[in-house]
Amino acid sequence: MGYLLDGAWHDGAEFAGANGEFRRKASSFRNWVTADGAPGPTGEGGFRAEAGRYHLYVSLACPWAHRALIMRRRKGLEEIVGLSVVHWHMAENGWTFEEGPGVIPDMINHARYLREVYLAADRNYTGRVTVPVLWDKERGTIVNNESSEVIRMFDSAFDQAGAETGTTYPEALRGEIDRVNARVYDTVNNGVYKAGFATRQSVYDAEVARLFESLDWLEARLEGKDYLVGDQLTEADIRLYTTLVRFDPVYHGHFKCNIRRIVDYPNLWRYLKALYALHGFGDTTDLVHIKRHYYTSHRAINPTGIVPVGPDIDYS
């Protein structure tokens, strides 16, 4: 755990704000790969979608990076966008490429620590060194390190560069997808972190209450339905999936989100199992990296680093 300040690495975590709440800092590289290289919604242009030009850095443990991994597989981008996978253990040096099962070393920047990739893009970088990272081999820089934007690029920018067609962000459903995403992001995807890293009882109590209100709302929403928005798989499902699949194995115990488990919700459990079975979902879910990462990396909330054996869950 640590961060870069003017290009220098500092060990230590500043999770809590003054009131004991967890604050997630905004991502800092916000350019977009587009079909023709025109600027996207933010940042500068010059990042045209091309096979072989871009490289994705992920952790298999991280729910934000997992979104990008699902989209990369589902859009048939595995031959088009390269991949490196960090080691699950994030300690005093942040994410590393230490050898281990499932780790894919960095053959692009030959980094030992992920921070070297950030420094290759900006040698005076200040901020957290997070995954996912989308790297441009041609310009030698980070295009974007915000997962919600990386999945939008993967969804459409590469369609003429050899990707599978089909979108998870169809025009007619965008308003509804955005509304669902907003609540799910704040109270579920990030909600589990806000509960887990709270350092005051009242903050934890409030965040857990908000999280379970949203899970109850999702449970009702999925009654008689296979997907969150419309009757097709959308980005909203991908964004919810990566939190749901980590919930019972990690967030329920490690982050103390334990009013109910996902298996206790008939609709959410049916929905989670159905998504798990789809191409790109279960086959990108690595419960070994997931459990080891959380339980061994967050020593402030699990000082022994012991990884629990259970729960015994069969997602298939």
Using the rule CB under 6 A, give the single segment among 56-64, 219-227, 278-286, 301-309 that binds ligand GSH: 56-64
Residue 27 is assigned to a ligand binding site: no
Residue 147 is assigned to a ligand binding site: yes
Min. distance of Cβ 291 from ligand GSH in angstroms? 14
Q: In angstroms, rounded to a whole number, what is the distance separating the alpha carbons of residues 245 and 298? A: 19
**Beta carbons of 68 and 154 less than 8 angstroms apart:** yes
Q: In angstroms, rounded to a whole number, what is the distance separating the alpha carbons of residues 269 and 261? A: 9
Stated as kind and residue range, the H or E segment containing 83 is strand 81-85
Residue 33 interacts with ligand GSH (CB under 6 A)? no
Would you say how long the chain is, in residues? 316
Concerning whether 265 is annotated as a catalytic residue, the answer is: no
**Angle subtended at Cα 139 by Cα 133 and Cα 142, rounded to the nearest 5 degrees:** 15
Nearer Cβ to ligand GSH (94/253): 94
Q: Pick from 54, 64, 125, 197: which binds ligand GSH (CB under 6 A)?
A: 64
Concerning whether 193 is annotated as a catalytic residue, the answer is: yes
Residue 128 interacts with ligand GSH (CB under 6 A)? yes
Residue with tokens 């967030």: 251
Q: Applying CB under 6 A, what is the total number of residues that bind ligand GSH?
A: 13
Q: What are phi and psi of 225, to 5 degrees?
A: -130, 150
Q: Pick from 146, 155, 207, 235: which binds ligand GSH (CB under 6 A)?
A: 146
Residue 147 interacts with ligand GSH (CB under 6 A)? yes
Using the rule CB under 6 A, give the single segment among 126-134, 197-205, 242-250, 296-304 that binds ligand GSH: 126-134
Residue 251 interacts with ligand GSH (CB under 6 A)? no
Spatial CB neighbours of 267, under 8 Å, sequence gap ≥ 6: 218, 219, 220, 222, 223
Using the rule CB under 6 A, give the single segment among 36-44, 128-136, 164-172, 216-224 that binds ligand GSH: 128-136
Q: Which of 57, 62, 118, 125 is catalytic?
A: 62
The residue type found at 139 is: R
Residue 62 interacts with ligand GSH (CB under 6 A)? yes
* Binding characters for ligand GSH, 79-108, by CB under 6 A (x = yes): ---------------x--------------
Nearer Cβ to ligand GSH (146/235): 146
Q: In angstroms, rounded to a whole number, what is the distance separating the alpha carbons of residues 112 and 98? A: 7
Q: Which of 57, 118, 125, 193 is catalytic?
A: 193
Instruction: Locate all alpha helices (DSSP H) within the chain, ordered by sequence.
Output: 63-74, 115-121, 147-156, 174-184, 191-196, 201-221, 235-246, 266-276, 287-297
**Beta carbons of 70 and 241 less than 8 angstroms apart:** yes
Residue 130 interacts with ligand GSH (CB under 6 A)? yes
Spatial CB neighbours of 293, under 8 Å, sequence gap ≥ 6: 59, 61, 62, 88, 89, 90
Min. distance of Cβ 91 from ligand GSH in angstroms? 11
Give me the active site residues, please. 62, 193
Interacting residues toward ligand GSH by CB under 6 A:
1, 27, 59, 62, 64, 94, 128-132, 146-147
